[in-house]
Structure 1
Amino acid sequence: MKIPREQVCVLIPTLNEEPTIGIIILKFLEIGYSDILVIDGNSIDKTREIASASGATVIVQEGKGKGSAFIQAIKHIKKPYIILIDGDNTYDPEQADALISPLLSGYDQTIGNRLCGTNTSAFHRLNLLGNRILNWLFKVSHGRYLYDILTGYRAFTLESLQRMRLYEEGFGIETEISAEAVRNDDRVAIIPVTYGERVGSDTKLDPIHDGLKIGRTIYRLAKLNNPLFYFGIIGLSFLIAGGVIGIYIIIDWLKNIDHIPLTILAVTLIIVGVQIIMFGIQSDIQLANQREFLHEVRKLRKER
C-alpha cells in the first residue's frame, strides 16, 4: 500500500531538544514527510532555531506542559493524517509508514508499542515496572488493554483527533488520548516500534511523582468510560469502612458495651456505599446506551 506522505502532518512537541531535533526532522524529510510541525514549550536552548533551519514549521507554545502543546497544535493541523512523535530521538522515523498504514485501512488511531522485544533494555527497571502497572490499571478501569498507553509515538486520523475532548496539560495527555479512544470506541491498531535510550538530554519524567499523577488521571477519567469501576471503588470504600465499624460494634456488644453513635455511623456508611455503587450501575447502563447511539450515528454517516 502506497503511503500518501504528503497528506501527513508530523507533530513534534519539544522542550530543550537541541541535540536531537534536527536529526529527527532531517530523517522525516529524507523519507518524504514534508509537513513537519514543531510546537516548542519555550526552550531555553537552540531547539527552535535548529528546527526552523532544518525545514520544520515552528510554533511557540502558549501554556506549559506536553498536553497544552498537543491541544494547541491540533488547531493548526489541516492534513488528514497525523504522526505524533517525541523530539528526543528515542523513536525511529523510518517506522512512520507502519503507523500510518492501518489508518488507510479504516483504523482511527495507531499506538507505537515500546514494551516489546529488546526495547526493555532502554528502560530503567522502575520505569518499566511502572509502565506495566499503569497499563494494567488502565485495562481494569477502562475495560480495554492498549499495551502501551504512555507511548510518545502515535498516529491519528484528523477526524478521530477532532472528536477528542482533551484537557490534560502535562504528561497525562497520553493517558487522556487513550481514554478518549476508548470513550469514542475508536479502532486502535497496536504496532511494535523500536525504542532507544535518550541521548543528549535528561528525561523530564519523575518515575514516582509523575507515575502517581498518571495513575490518578487513569482513575479520574474512568468515570467517563467505566463509571461502575469509578463509583464502585468509592462505594466499596464506604462499605468497607461501615463493615469494619460494624464488626467492632458487634464484638463490643457481646461485651455488653453500648455504641449507639458508632452503630448509626456504620449503618450510614453502608447505606451510602450501596447507593454510590447503584449510581455507578445506572451510569454504566447510560454509558452503554450512549455508545450504542453513537455507533448508530457513525454507521448512518458512513452509509450517506
Structure 2
Amino acid sequence: MVIDRSQVCIFIPTLNEEPTIGELISLFRDKGYSHIFVMDGNSSDRTAEIAEKAGAEVVLQHSRGKGNAIIESIEHFRAPYILMLDGDMTYLPEDAELMLEPLFTGCDHVIGNRLEFPEKGALSLLNLFGNKIINDLFRMAHGRYLADILSGYRAFTLESIRRMNLCESGFEIETEMASESVRNQQKIKVVPIHYVKRPGTATKLRPLHDGAKIISTLYRLARRSNPMFYFGMIGGVISILGAVTAIYVLYEWLRGIEHIPLTILTTLLIMGGLQVFMFGILSDIMLANQQELRREIQSLKNQRPPE
C-alpha cells in the first residue's frame, strides 16, 4: 500500500518538549510529510519557536490540557487523514506508515498498541498493570477490547474525528476518543507499535491520580454507549445494600427483634435498585433503536448519487 503523504497531517500536541520536538519534526519531514501541525499548550520553554523553525505550523492553545489541545485542533485540520502522536519521542516516526495504511483501506480510527513492543524501562510495572485494568474495564463497559485505549499514537480520518463529541480536557481524552469511536460504530484497527523510553524529559502523567480520573471517565462515558452497564452497576450496588440490610433484618426478626424503619429502608433499597436496573434495560433498548436509525441514515447517504 502506497501512502499519499500529501493527504496526511502530522498532528503533535505539545507542552514543554524543547529537547525533542525539533528532531521529531525533522524526522517526519525527511520521510516526506510536509504538513506538520503543532498545537502548543503555551509551553514555558522554546517548544513553539523550535517547532516553527523546523517547518511545522504552530498554533498556541487557548486553554490547558491535552484534551483541549485535540478539541481545539479539529477546526484547523484540512487534510483527509491525521496522524497524532506526542512530542516527547516515545513514539517512532518509523511506525507512521503502519498506522496510516488501514486508513487508506477504509478504516476510520487506528490505535497504536504500545503494550506489544515496549522498550525495556519505557513502562513501569505500575503503568503496565494500570493499562491492563483500564483496558479490561473498557471492554466490560463498552463491549470492545482495543488493547491500548490510552495510546497517544493514533490515526483517524477527518470525517471520523469530526463525528466525535469530545469534551474531556486532560489525559482522559484518549479514553473518550475510543468510546466515541465505538459509539459511532466506526471501523477501528489496532496495530502493534514500538514505544521507547522518554529521552530525559519529565513525564506529565501522575499514574494514580490520572488513572483514577480515567477510570471515572470510562464509567461515566458508558452512559452513552452502554447504559445497561452504567445503570446496571448503580442498580446492582443499591440492591446489594438492600440485600445486606434484609439479611440483618431477617436475622433480628428471628431473634424476636423488629426493626420497622430499617425494614422500610430495606424495601426501598431493593425496589430502587430494581427500578434503576430496569431503567438501564429501557435505555439499552432506546440506544439499540438509535443505532439502527443511524445505520439506516448512513445507508441512505451512501446510496445517494453524487451531484
TM-score scaled to structure 2, two decimals? 0.97
Q: Deviations over 1:217-272 (max 9, x none)?
A: 00000011110000000001110111111100000001111100000000000000
The code of the aligned residue for 2:234 comes to I
| TM-aligned CA distance change 1:229 to 1:287, over 3 Å | same
Query: Is the 8 Å Cα contact of residues 42 and 61 (structure 1) preserved in structure 2?
Result: yes
SS at match of 1:155: strand
- After superposition, give the CA deviation of every residue in 1:6-58 in whole Å (9 maximum; x if it has no partner): 11111100000000001110011000111111011111011011000000011
Give the aligned residue type for 1:24: L
What SS does structure 2 have at the residue aligned with 1:302? helix
Structure 1 position 118, deviation (Å): 4.7
The aligned length equals 304
CA distance in 2, matches of 1:95, 1:166: 26
Provide the residue aligned with 2:159 in structure 1.
Answer: 159
SS for the counterpart of 1:165 is coil
State whether residues 239 and 273 of structure 1, in contact with CA within 8 Å, keep that contact through their aligned partners in structure 2: yes
8 Å Cα contact 1:149/1:175 also seen in 2? yes
Match in the other structure for 2:253: 253
Please say if 1:42 is aligned against 2:37.
Answer: no
Quote the Cα distance in structure 2 between the aligned partners of 1:92 and 1:117: 12
**Alignment partner, residue 104 of structure 2:** 104
Deviation at 1:100, TM superposition (A): 1.1
Please tell me whether residue 93 in structure 1 is matched to residue 59 in structure 2.
no
Contact residue 120 and residue 128 of structure 1 kept, 8 A: no
1:159 positional shift: 0.4
Shift of 1:300: 2.0
Structure 2 counterpart of 1:130: 130
Q: CA RMSD in A?
A: 0.9
Deviation at 1:301, TM superposition (A): 1.6
Partners of 2:279 and 2:14 in 1: CA distance: 42
SS in structure 2 at match of 1:17: coil
SS in 2 for 1:122: coil
SS of the residue corresponding to residue 101 of structure 2 reads helix
Shift of 1:288: 1.0
The alpha carbon displacement at 1:117 in A equals 3.4
Farther off after superposition, 68-77 or 116-125: 116-125
8 Å Cα contact 1:242/1:270 also seen in 2? yes
CA deviation profile, 1:46-86 (whole Å, cap 9, x unmatched): 10110000000110000010000000000101110001100
SS in 1 for 2:115: coil
The residue aligned with 2:285 is 285
| Cα offset, 1:303, TM superposition | 2.1
Closer, same or farther in 2 for the Cα pair 1:119/1:141, shift >3 Å?
A: farther
Q: Structure 1, residues 177-205: CA drift from partner, whole Å, max 9, x if none?
A: 00000100000011110000011211101
AA paired with 2:228? L
Q: Which amino acid aligns with 1:38?
A: V
Where 1:83 maps in the other structure, the secondary structure is strand
Would the alpha carbon gap of residues 216 and 138 (structure 1) be closer, same or farther in structure 2, given more than 3 Å must change?
same
Measured after TM superposition, the shift of residue 2 of structure 1 is 1.4
SS, match of residue 202 in structure 1: coil
Deviation at 1:119, TM superposition (A): 4.0
Aligned twin of 2:32: 32
1:97 to partner: Cα distance: 1.2
Correspondence for 1:69: 69
TM-score by length of 1: 0.98
1:262 aligns with 2:262: yes
Whether the aligned pair in 1 keeps the contact of 2:99 and 2:154 (CA below 8 Å) is yes
User: Structure 2 CA distance, aligned partners of 1:266 and 1:61?
Assistant: 52
Q: Give the Å deviation of 1:96.
A: 1.0
Superposed, which structure 2 residues align to 1:167-186 within 5 Å?
A: 167-186=167-186
Q: Matched residues in 1 for 2:62 and 2:194: separation?
A: 32
Question: Hey, what's the Cα distance between the residues in 2 that align with 1:146 and 1:118?
Answer: 17
Query: Identity percentage over the alignment?
Result: 54
Query: Letter of the aligned partner of 2:174 in structure 1?
Result: E
- Name the CA distance, whole Å, in 2 between partners of 1:121 and 1:15: 23
